[in-house]
Amino acid sequence: MSNVTEVLKCKGAPECKKPVKALGLCIRHYCYFRNHGCYEPPNIDVPPLALPPHDAAWLAAVLDCEGWIGMTYRGGSTKAYWPRIGVGNTDYRLIQRLIDLTKITSVRYVIPKSIKHKEQWHWRVDRRDDVVAILKSVLPYLVIKIEQAKAILSLPNRNAKNKEAREKVHSICMQLNKRGPRAA
């Protein structure tokens, strides 16, 4: 019986070495998925967003020119890092086109700082699987932000508890997103 559990691997995380129980999950991952309303483990390999080539090239151009690709974190006693992409613009038609293409509707209205400033909207993608799917589909077309996208895509899967890798990607993105002339 112990030989069977050693051969089977937990589908909750590839590095999980605990004995497999129900649905191919160890008891820890089974309880996690049951408590969160899903019995199937997450899809670790995220497929690219299904976009025609001309829409993927357009989205890459918008991310290159008007958007940002990076890591954000929640500070405090334990830092948590996650990837984020977004686009900010004063014309809502651009934001609406992004929503239509990606079906992601996370939009935030930014209040103008003074009368001199125009109103602005930010389209943001915070969910890791959505960020990875978008970056995989636009990667061949990116020019300016290709290093940030490759750094984000090099992150371990979402179940891996690899804080050092996330901190490293965060520092790489911070360096690449720094304002001013780049060092040669």
Q: Return the domain boundaries, the chain.
A: 2-35, 53-176
| 158 burial level (CB within 10 Å; 0-12, 13-18, 19+) | middle
What is the second-level CATH architecture of the domain 53-176?
Answer: Roll (3.10)
For the segment 131-157, what is each residue's pLDDT rounded down to a tens digit? 989 999 999 999 999 999 998 888 876
Q: How long, in residues, is the chain? A: 184
For the segment 27-49, what is each residue's pLDDT rounded down to a tens digit? 776 666 666 655 555 555 777 88
Q: Angle at the Cα of 160 (from 156 to 162), degrees rounded to 5? A: 75
* C-alpha to C-alpha distance for 129 and 80, rounded to whole angstroms: 16
pLDDT for 139:
92
pTM summary value: 0.70
For the segment 61-114, what is each residue's pLDDT rounded down to a tens digit? 999 999 999 888 777 666 777 889 999 999 999 999 999 999 888 888 888 888
pLDDT for 4:
42
* C-alpha to C-alpha distance for 74 and 115, rounded to whole angstroms: 32
Closest of 1, 4, 166, 36 to residue 12, by C-alpha: 36
